[in-house]
Structure 1
Amino acid sequence: MDQITSHVLRDGDTKVTVLSLGCAVMDWRVRDRHVVLGYRTPEHYRQNPASMGVICGRVANRIAGAQFDLDGVTYSLPANASPHHLHGGPGGIGRRNWQMSRDGERAVEFRLLSEDGDQGYPGRVAFRVVMRLKGGRLTWKMEGVPDRVTPINLTQHLYFNLTGQGTVADHNLRIVADRYTPNGPDLVPLGRIDPVAGTAYDFRTPVRLGDGEGWDGNLILTKGADPAAEVAVPDGMTLRLWTDRPGMQVYTANTLKHVLPEGPGAAHGRFAGLCLEAQDMPNAVNVPAFGSILCSPDAPYRQVTSIEIG
């Protein structure tokens, strides 16, 4: 079994611990506060049923029916959220041990080669993720270069709790998005794009999360929003997020349970964390109206997302 390696990024009051397994952020500390959920040891990330802290893919979120068609061929994927495929499958890149190269206390690079047929996906993909810390801002630069046409859609899957304890009820969330992709009861988008006005997904003005029943859905971000999302808690701690991706999944840990020993952040449980998953549209491989996530040697996958906490 490959050894999991770790590295600590430091700048000013911020310290971020990252792992080679899944490019996971194991801990994010601002002064004396731990602002993400995590597990107690790196070895616990081998199980990680909540995809905590990792990069999800090859295709993040759900693929309906765990299959898609490409050039007349139907590709079947593991139905790890039966009957659907979720976050790249049970052996997706968030569960793989990447090659990690350190660059001092400010940056780290991860590389992974995903072979043709990995989790049912076509093509061989060379993935590269660079994480860089500057002040209180952590930036992910993600790249996937395939040897043939194949779908790719990555996301970071950190669970934020800016108070470091309890639930995210007192977190106020604003997202610059006036449209969303409503889900069916199975959490797969219905295939249409609706206005957020009058729905629970209207975050254009700040929403206190404790005033809702929990969220797990995708918003379509207003292009060029600066930032795309903001979170604030009563004592003044804030989070801001920038991304070049068109969508963002908002997930309030509705089904999170304590299953593994916890790290120094908030205790794991329902509503203990907030995920803000910058991404392309869920199930886009089966819904042409959601835009293409097909990548190729001439048009590789790229994402830049930054999150600042302070």
Structure 2
Amino acid sequence: MTAPVPASFGTLPDGREVTVHTLTAPGGPVLRVLDLGATVQALHLPDRAGGTTNVALGHPDAAACAALPEAFLGAVVGRYANRIAGARFDLDGRTVALAANEGGNTLHGGPDGFHRRTWQVVEAGPDRLVLELVSPDGDQGFPGELTARATYTVSGHTVALDLEARTDAPTVVNLAGHAYLNLAGEGSGTVEDHLLTVAADHYLPVGRDGLPTGGLAPVAGTPLDLTTPARLGERMRSEHPHVAAVGGIDHSFHLRGTGLRAAARLEDPASGRSVELWTDQPALQVYTGNALDGAITGPGGRGYPRGAGLALEPQRHPDSPNRPELSDPVLRPGETCRSRTEWRFRY
């Protein structure tokens, strides 16, 4: 197969052109990835009618990608995914001050995070795309020049994302894919009737600001017990204080085991589609799209309501630069930070 020619996705307000690359495998998913933010813009799966259905939330064009409100739809977020309290942390005896973009905290790398950057295409084939981004020393306050790579691969019924990073000075890093899935179809409503299973016996309680309030807690006896298939609508609308605090599920789950393993399973009984997520990361952020309110319109022309999609984000725990007992976020020269995520679909 020959590599498809990338297509224009439109122009940003600052004049940058955004391109979209299409990856596919015979009889398998069709994945559309933007060079802006190394973003999953659409993911089409074969359907029972002989056509395809887009199951990933995304923006319809470049202008929409740059508009507010910001939902990080499909992007690779960094330099540090999730939240860092107080927009600061200590590293090797000195305090590092970051750019804040959520109250006084730093979310997903800061106001000009990796989701807003144009990644360079290193390799483009029919079923594989490699993108690279160089983040300079001091970018959003983070020390060290960081070189990040994102590799998307489509094979059989599987979409894989490999992330890696290298640095020339000690820093912290937590790259994560922020794809939202709705197996019934993008723009079809909500994921409240989807069933979710997560291979985690503990989760991280958070306050209204999304930051950890303490250490890991057992999921047993809470609506965050997803060790057996659970209907999302019942759990995300629970009045349990740890769910009500963030308006749904937006919690980090501490996954069982190590190495590449099954972390979660999402099922849509109506369509018969399901996906099993595999990762080698210690934690999985589960986010039920609590902040979506219809203001963002997808490619299908419909606004995304609360719960329009589910983001399953393998990563390190939030605020680990200030809470090293949760997970180790430090990367030093000569080391390479790597992670792998696989979405194994059935349809």
Same-fold call, TM cutoff 0.5: yes
Q: Which letter does structure 2 place at the counterpart of 1:24? A: T
Matches within 5 A, 1:71-82: 71-82=92-103
Distance 1:266 1:306, change over 3 A: farther
Map of 2:316 onto structure 1: 280
Tell me the alpha carbon deviations over residues 264-285 of structure 1, each in whole angstroms, 9 at most, x when there is no partner.
3874111111000100011000
The whole-number CA distance in structure 2 between the counterparts of 1:262 and 1:179 is 34
Partner SS state of residue 211, structure 1: helix
Q: Which letter does structure 1 place at the counterpart of 2:339? A: Q
The whole-number CA distance in structure 2 between the counterparts of 1:226 and 1:111 is 26
Matched, 1:60 2:81: yes
Q: Which letter does structure 1 place at the counterpart of 2:197? A: R
Shift of 1:150: 0.3
Map of 1:115 onto structure 2: 136
Map of 2:179 onto structure 1: 158
Matches within 5 A, 1:19-168: 19-31=34-46, 32-47=52-67, 49-164=70-185, 165-168=188-191
For structure 2, which runs of at least 5 residues remain unmatched after alignment? Answer: 1-14, 47-51, 238-247
Tell me the alpha carbon deviations over residues 55-88 of structure 1, each in whole angstroms, 9 at most, x when there is no partner.
0100000001111111222111122111211000
Shift of 1:6: 1.2
* Contact 2:296 2:303 (C-alpha < 8 Å) held by counterparts: no
Tell me the alpha carbon deviations over residues 157-188 of structure 1, each in whole angstroms, 9 at most, x when there is no partner.
01110001110011000010001111122210
Instruction: Report sequence identity in percent.
Output: 39
* Contact 1:34 1:264 (C-alpha < 8 Å) held by counterparts: no
Tell me the alpha carbon deviations over residues 79-99 of structure 1, each in whole angstroms, 9 at most, x when there is no partner.
211121100011111110000
Shift of 1:129: 1.1
Distance 1:80 1:305, change over 3 A: same
The whole-number CA distance in structure 1 between the counterparts of 2:78 and 2:123 is 23
- Structure number with the bigger relative contact order (C-alpha 8 A, sep ≥ 6) is 1
Q: Which letter does structure 1 place at the counterpart of 2:43? A: W
The whole-number CA distance in structure 2 between the counterparts of 1:18 and 1:180 is 31
Map of 1:223 onto structure 2: 257
The whole-number CA distance in structure 1 between the counterparts of 2:316 and 2:192 is 27
For structure 1, which runs of at least 5 residues remain unmatched after alignment? Answer: none
Map of 2:18 onto structure 1: 4
Q: Which letter does structure 2 place at the counterpart of 1:202? A: D
Which of 200, 204, 210 does residue 187 from structure 1 map onto? Answer: 210
Shift of 1:260: 4.1
Distance 1:261 1:210, change over 3 A: closer
* Contact 1:173 1:230 (C-alpha < 8 Å) held by counterparts: yes
* Contact 1:129 1:140 (C-alpha < 8 Å) held by counterparts: yes
Partner SS state of residue 321, structure 2: helix
| TM-score, length of structure 1 as denominator length | 0.96
The whole-number CA distance in structure 2 between the counterparts of 1:266 and 1:166 is 9
Partner SS state of residue 86, structure 2: helix
* Contact 1:168 1:209 (C-alpha < 8 Å) held by counterparts: yes
Map of 1:244 onto structure 2: 280
* Contact 1:37 1:161 (C-alpha < 8 Å) held by counterparts: yes
* Contact 1:149 1:297 (C-alpha < 8 Å) held by counterparts: yes
Root-mean-square deviation over aligned CA pairs: 1.5
The whole-number CA distance in structure 2 between the counterparts of 1:265 and 1:143 is 35
Which of 291, 295, 301 does residue 327 from structure 2 map onto? Answer: 291
* Contact 2:201 2:219 (C-alpha < 8 Å) held by counterparts: yes
Runs of 4+ in 1 over 4 A off after TM superposition: none
Shift of 1:206: 0.6
